[in-house]
Amino acid sequence: MKKIGLVGGISWVSTMDYYKFINEGVNSKLGGLNFAECIIYSLNFGDIQARGWNNSFDLLQTACESLERSGADGIVLCANTAHLFADELQAITQLPIIHIGVETAKAVKKEGLKKVGLLGTKFTMEMDFYRNKLEEYGLDVLIPEKQETRDYIQYTLKEELGIGFINPQTRDNYISITNELVKRGAECIILGCTEIPMLIGQSDFNIPIFDTTKIHSEAILEFIIS
């Protein structure tokens, strides 16, 4: 098995999901008492919030370099928004970085879908680092039209889901926001923040829902056992 290095803590809540999914996957494939050999560098999310994502490159660089020195064979950024720096980090490390946007695009493309609704942080929805990866696979990307809606998603991701708080009213609001994307023509929805699956999932909708945490974890599993 290959040893995987996880850049986590962004947030710690979803890092637990990665750890769970990866280890369950390895055990399902290999059986017995086999589990993933991995190294977790858990960042302090408060440091990133204090600086802002745009000014946090050096924190992720330090984490990746530490994982490389520790003997990891590949690196995972355990957050969609962290892929703001994925290309830059890939350029300075000798290790492959398994890109969540690329793996999600492959999963959507495999299902023959084209027009996707994207939910995530403001950075993921509004900037091009993530959307470009989807568009490279021929996907048309829709995001919530209103700035206030995108601001609301950002707030709840940081102040509620990022600390593990599940608010039933927020869940209802997310369902309404998603249904608006469907009305605008979305054939499927990408949950482009690793915390969103804590709140909504496939059982809430009649169209395909792509859980990026699970998609990413499955790609990591294939890397580990390849």
Q: Which fold has domain 101-211?
A: Rossmann fold (3.40.50)
In three state form, how does the secondary structure of 61-117 look?
HHHHHHHHHCCCCEEEECCCHHHHHHHHHHHHCCCCECCHHHHHHHHHHHCCCCEEE
Is 90 exceeded by the pLDDT of residue 13?
Answer: no
Residue 219 CA to residue 170 CA, distance in Å, equals 30
d(CA 65, CA 72): 10
Is there a shared CATH topology between the 4-100+214-225 domain and the 101-211 domain? yes
Domain range list for the chain:
4-100+214-225, 101-211
Q: Which CATH architecture has domain 4-100+214-225?
A: 3-Layer(aba) Sandwich (3.40)
Q: What is the pLDDT of residues 69-115, one digit of tens each?
A: 999 999 999 999 999 999 999 999 999 999 999 999 999 999 999 99
pLDDT tens by residue, 19-74: 999 999 999 999 999 999 999 999 999 999 899 999 999 999 999 999 999 999 99
The predicted structure's pLDDT at residue 99? 97
